[in-house]
Amino acid sequence: MATTTDTHAAMQGNEALTPVTDAQRVFQWHTHAALWFSLGVGLLVMQIGAYLVPAVGTRDAVIAIVFGSCIGAGLLAWTARVGCESGLASAGLMHATYGGAFARLPVVLNIVQLIGWTTFELVVMREGTQAIGQQAFGLATAGPLGTVLTTLLWGAVLLALLAGSMVTLVRRFVSRFGLPLVVLSLVWLTWQFATQLHAKGFDTFWSRPGNGGMGMFGALDLVIAMPVSWLPLVADYARHGHRAGRGLGGAFGGTWLGYLLANVWCYALGVMVVSVAEPGTSLVTALLLAQGGLLALGLILIDELDNAYGDVYSGSVSAHSLRPRWSVRRWGLVLAVLCIGLALVLPMHALEPFLLMLSSVFVPLYGVILGRLGWGAVAVGTRRVDWPAALLWVAGIAVYHACAAWAPQWGSALPTLAFTFALSALTRPRAARPAAGDVSALARSRG
């Protein structure tokens, strides 16, 4: 067994479990807002919006989108504040909550889900590129050769981005260039589809009932599922924030406002697109058929790339926490190559069950983390396994699935979140927050 001194020495090279230094805290309020607006925009979000109707009526869909986005973005922002205050990555927060030995389980699950999300993103970008090639240039890129070439194209760009610095990418590209272009594309598409809705009769669209395929709370769960899927990533970026903030400033306010606007906008745009498109028309095809849709879709596909990058980067931080001998950059390149391979061979269209399965794991996981760490002080335990926290997480997963099976009309996310948060707050140990740069408590927690 390694001694505390040996483990402490090993920790010095573990970037994921060591608080960042003051020199690394370079993200301002607007940087957080730009990053999370950009990450919140995507074709996947629009597709989930399209799932909401006609399962529920238009008014119910809008209510679910607004309230679900407020709640989901609020959870992201709260986690961002914890990450910024502690300087810890997501893996570090898991270690601080669940103990160093048990935390390996949620860290591994996080890596698996991030590999899945990156593969999803590559498939979406590939299919979008194939649709653009067919629509604009008449290229038959949907065959085996076209699939391989378009996947490798986006994969090569992803690998090139991962070879650089995350901080530089966010500050210089996403904030300064990527964000304005994405906003312009969303404005243009919104105008195009709003015009079509007006021509068809806005009153008819607004009063359209659902077919009963989903209840209000089921729709709310589906909306919350998307921001919840980002919870295991947010601290990896927020830890670089200049200040945490408790109102609408700092990491909290920037994360909340940026993601809220993007989530509401993209979900609503998905509802608008499916409401005016001909039955059986895919979302990508409907976007391409809009005036100027080719350019707008191209810009959104480029923005989709930062979602894939964000997933791989956080996956590499989590993997580095388990095997620190490999740098974050090296892990990122390895995971990206794996995702490119998976995108070539796996069918990736069962999106709704995938999202809800992730929610059943990460809603209670972060309900416990926020109940323990969300009060302004990171209480780091010294045990290898924090059994109360671990058992609460497992119980939370059971509550989520029990609600889905026995009380689907009330949803699963909110009851599970309330259950795990309340009990973890009541059982929260009282401990002093470690000083910045002091990793001895985390080292001890790893045994």
Specify the range with the lowest mean pLDDT, choosing from 240-249, 270-279, 369-378.
240-249
Residue 350: predicted pLDDT: 58
> Whole-angstrom Cα distance, residue 385 to residue 383?
5
pLDDT for the residue numbered 164: 86
Average pLDDT over residues 287-313: 86
The single residue listed with the structure tokens 């059982």 is 427
Percent of the chain with pLDDT over 90: 49
On average, the pLDDT of the chain sits at 85
What is the mean pLDDT of the segment spanning 39-65? 90
Q: Is the pLDDT of residue 434 over 70?
A: no
Confidence of residue 403 (pLDDT cuts 50, 70, 90): very high
Query: Which tokens hold the place of 131?
Result: 């649709």
The owner of tokens 């659902």 is 210
Q: What is the DSSP string of 207-249?
A: TPPP-SSS-HHHHHHHHHHHHHHTHHHHHHHHTTBS---SSSS
Determine the Cα–Cα distance for residues 439 and 427; give it in Å rounded to an integer: 24
> Residues 342, 345, 349, 355: what is their CA dihedral angle, to the nearest 10 degrees?
-30
Sign of CA dihedral 445, 75, 24, 113: positive
The pLDDT of residue 377: 56
More confident residue, 304 or 379: 304
pLDDT given at position 33 = 93
What's at 125, amino acid-wise?
M
- What are the two backbone dihedrals, phi and then psi, of residue 16, each rounded to the nearest 5 degrees? -70, -30
What pLDDT, on the 0 to 100 scale, is given for residue 411?
Answer: 86
Is residue 83's pLDDT more than 70? Answer: yes
pLDDT tier at 351, thresholds 50, 70, 90: low
Compute the distance between CA of residue 144 and CA of residue 256 in angstroms, rounded to an integer. Answer: 41
- pLDDT tens, 214-256? 888 889 988 998 898 899 999 999 999 987 666 667 899 999 9
* Cα distances (Å, whole numbers) of residue 213 to 15, 51, 53, 196: 46, 10, 9, 26
Averaged over 399-418, what is the pLDDT? 90
* Angle, helix 104-137 to helix 351-373, in steps of 10 degrees: 140
Closest to 113 in 3D by CA, of 245, 230, 6, 275: 230
Q: How confident is the model at residue 8 (pLDDT cuts 50, 70, 90)?
A: very low
Strand-pairing partners, residue 241, are 27
Give the pLDDT confidence score for residue 257 in this predicted structure: 95
Q: Which of 3, 37, 17, 26 is nearest to 306 (CA)?
A: 37
With bands split at pLDDT 50, 70 and 90, how would you rate the model's confidence at 429?
confident
* DSSP helix/strand/coil, 27: strand
pLDDT per position as a tens digit, 168-217: 888 777 777 778 888 999 999 999 999 999 888 888 888 888 888 888 88
Q: What is the pLDDT of residue 247?
A: 61
Q: With a cut of 60, say whether residue 6 has pLDDT above it.
A: no
> What pLDDT, on a 0 to 100 scale, did the predictor assign at position 440?
35
pLDDT at residue 415, as a whole number: 93
Distance CA 336, CA 326 (A): 15
Residue 81 has what pLDDT?
Answer: 93
The full set of domains in the chain, from first to last, is 27-350 (1.10.4160.10)
Confidence label for 349 from pLDDT (cuts 50, 70 and 90)? low
The 3 state secondary structure assigned to 54-109 is CCCCHHHHHHHHHHHHHHHHHHHHHHHHHHHHHCCCHHHHHHHHHCCCCCHHHHHH
pLDDT surpassing 70 at residue 402: yes
- Across 12-29, average pLDDT: 87
Q: In one letter, which amino acid is 265?
A: W
Quick one: pLDDT band at residue 290, thresholds 50, 70, 90? confident
How many residues appear in the chain? 447
